[in-house]
Structures are given as C-alpha cells and as structure tokens.
Amino acid sequence: MAKHKTAPAAKFLLAIAVVIILILIGGIILNQNQAAMMKVAFVPSHEIASEEPTPAPDYTTEEAWAALPGKTSPAQMMPEGIIRTAMVPEVDVFYIHPTTYLNKERWNAPFDGDEKTMRWTDNFALRYQASAFNLAGQVYAPHYRQATFGAFLDDSGQGVQAMLNAHADVLAAFDNYITTKNKGRPFIIVGHSQGALHALLLLGERVAPTNLRDLMVAAYIIGWPVSHEGDLAVLPGIDACEGKTDTGCVVSFQSFDKDGDASPLLKVVAATPGLNGKLRAGTKMLCTNPLSWEVDGTTTKAANLGAIELLPEAGPISAPIPSLTGARCGKDGVLYLTRPPQGSWSEYQMAGGNYHAYDINLFYMNIRQNAAERASAWLEKNR
C-alpha cells in the first residue's frame, strides 16, 4: 500500500454561504485561541480591495480549462480493473472543483495557480471526483480564481467578496460552455465543497430561470448543504431526485461516521441564508442516499458497488472496494455511514466523524453508474 501523507486537502470546510458566522475545522467549532491561530496561518493579512486582480480566465482557450473533451487530464482516468465502456455520447458534464488553494498571499487564486494548487486540482479533484462522471458524458471542468482556504475563516466580509469573485469566473465559464460548446446537448452539473456552492448558485442564476432547466440531466451538489425549503423551493422546475433515473433534479449529501456529530454543521445551516434569502433555521437538508438514490433512504453495504481509496500521490486510480460501507440518511438530513471504514480511510477524516474529503470516494462506482443511468434516462425521455 502506498505511503500516505497529511494533506491540506483534508482540511476542507463545509458550510459558508453569504454570511460567515461560525468557523468549522474538522467538523468542530474552534475556541477563540484556535480560531485566532488559524486566521493567522491562513487568512490574508491585506485588504481584498488592495489586491490587484490576476488575469481573468479566457474560456475560449484550452488553458482556462482543467478538463475538456480531447484534452488529456485525470478526469479521463478509470479505476484499475474496470473495463472501458463507451460513455453516453450525447451528454456533457460541467464539473466545478473544490478548494485546492491554501496560500494566504491572495484572497483569490490565479486561475492557473501555483504548482501545489494545480497538483491538488489534478491529483485530487479531477482524479477522484470528475473521473466518476466520465462514463456519463464529456467532462468540462473550468479553472477559476477560487477563494483561498482562509476566506472561509474570515469574518470581516472579505471572504464573502472572495467567494463572489470566484463565482463570477464560474458564471463566465458556464456562459462560455453554453454559448460555444454545448450546442443544445443535455448536461450534468457537478460540484463539491466550494464547487458545490458555486453549482447551487448556478442553478438559481442560470438554469432554473431559463429553458436550460429542460436540458439539465441532474445536478450533483455534494459536500454542501441544500435546504428543501430554503433552496429547492425557489428553483422553478427543479426538485430533489427521488429515484435513480429521475432527471432535471438535484442530488446532495454530506458524509459522517455512523456516530458522528454533525451539530456544528447543522448550526451553520440554520445561521446562513438559502437561495430564498432567508435563514435556513427550521428547514431540512436534502439527503440523497448514494447507494439507493432515494431521499432519506437506508441501504446496506451490499449495495455499495465500490469505493476508491484516496491516495495523495499522483498515479492510477486504485481498484474499487465493493461493500465498504452502507449508508443511511438521518432525520437531520445528514448521511451517516453504517460501517465506517478503517485504516487509510481515517487519515483525512475530520473531527466529529466528518468524511467530507471522501464524499465521492466512498460511493465512487455507484455515482459512476448512476450518472450514466440518468444520462441515458434523459435521452430516452426526450427522444
């Protein structure tokens, strides 16, 4: 087995929308001293207004995309031992990667990043996340001037501005994709963590209010809270996916140990606004069980077609591990593992039993199969 190293990617944060109220590191609320130390380590010390913007990505060029049809990238990889089968040829996948920039020198990363950022984008995001969808269609993954990790720790409002700056790039990338690349094809939207926030906002700004919702196969908004009442209720024509072949709908879940403590996450959900502009307190998170594709479902490990071990070093995707764990949706809208994996699977586990970094790895083969099934189902319904 490959030797593992502690990686910054394991420190992903779970929830922040318009107002950053609580600080989450490893699923726990930090005390004042811890919060102060993390801010010193990760939050830029300069004002965001003084930061000279780096060049915007030119999405008419290949360099502005981490993955494109015909461009060699880890998004095209497959797990070892899996026979390559033809993708659904008529469908596209628009994938938005999570936070991979931890440098405090800037509030927003250059879109073409430093070496470490680009390495994590390739070796983690594209290899373990975008690749899970390459059977369902051609993957389009934009580089964007993502908000730095420290933006999630800021309470001055500058972190929010950094997120808005990043989102402007995501909107520009999606607009370019629709106007010059899509050519009327159905598409899947995928985002994880920071990328999932951008995906959720994208649904509200570009998809639900337009006829593009008729072309959307599904949106996989993973590792970010989605409220039934605060978010989905204001997306006309877009509901939660309730079955494995439903289309035009949203999938969302966040993974915790079977005895995990999701209370800090739930407090953040309650204290932040949804797409309706109101605080989500008293609303319920969407929990899609990725082993059954039912809302609020419970499924045994026998339904797990294969998890993929997360290895930080560059290299092939390891062979799937069938029946690693089952999953159940709790009454709180959180996905709890019925058999939490041990060994290397605990290396990037956050405190509180938070498996955020593994959200897709844990259910990789089920997600891979489901995305292709939904794509085929959309084509069958719309032929």
Confidence (pLDDT) at 111: 93
Residue 312 has what pLDDT? 80
Q: What residue ranges in the chain does DSSP mark as E strands?
A: 24-25, 28-29, 65-67, 92-96, 138-142, 187-192, 216-222, 239-240, 249-251, 255-256, 298-299, 327-329, 335-337
Say what the pLDDT of residue 169 is.
97
Q: What is the mean pLDDT of residues 308-328?
A: 94
Asked if residue 368 lies in contact with residue 135, where contact means CB atoms within 8 angstroms, the answer is yes
Supply the mean pLDDT for the chain.
Answer: 88
Q: Could you tell me the pTM of the whole model?
A: 0.91
Instruction: Tell me the C-alpha distance between 183 and 65, whole Å.
Output: 18
pLDDT band at 35, cuts 50/70/90?
low
Place 343 in a pLDDT band, splitting at 50, 70 and 90. confident
pLDDT at position 199: 97
Q: Find the mean pLDDT for residues 358-367.
A: 98
| 44, pLDDT greater than 60 | yes
Distance (Å, rounded) from C-alpha 13 to C-alpha 93?
A: 24
Q: What is the pLDDT of residue 27?
A: 38
Q: Determine how many CB atoms are found less than 10 A away from the CB of residue 156.
A: 11
pLDDT band of 2, cuts 50, 70, 90 = very low
* Pairing mode of beta strands 92-96, 138-142: parallel
372 token code pair: 């292709």
3-class SS of residue 264:
helix
**Quick one: pLDDT at residue 19?**
34
What DSSP state is assigned to residue 82? P
pLDDT score, position 219:
98
Q: Which H or E run includes 12?
A: none
- Region 262-274: what's the mean pLDDT? 87
| Predicted pLDDT of residue 218 | 98
CA 156-171-42 angle, to 5 degrees, is 30
| pLDDT band per the 50, 70, 90 thresholds, residue 383 | confident
pLDDT tens digits for range 154-210: 778 888 899 999 999 999 999 999 999 999 999 999 999 999 999 999 999 999 999
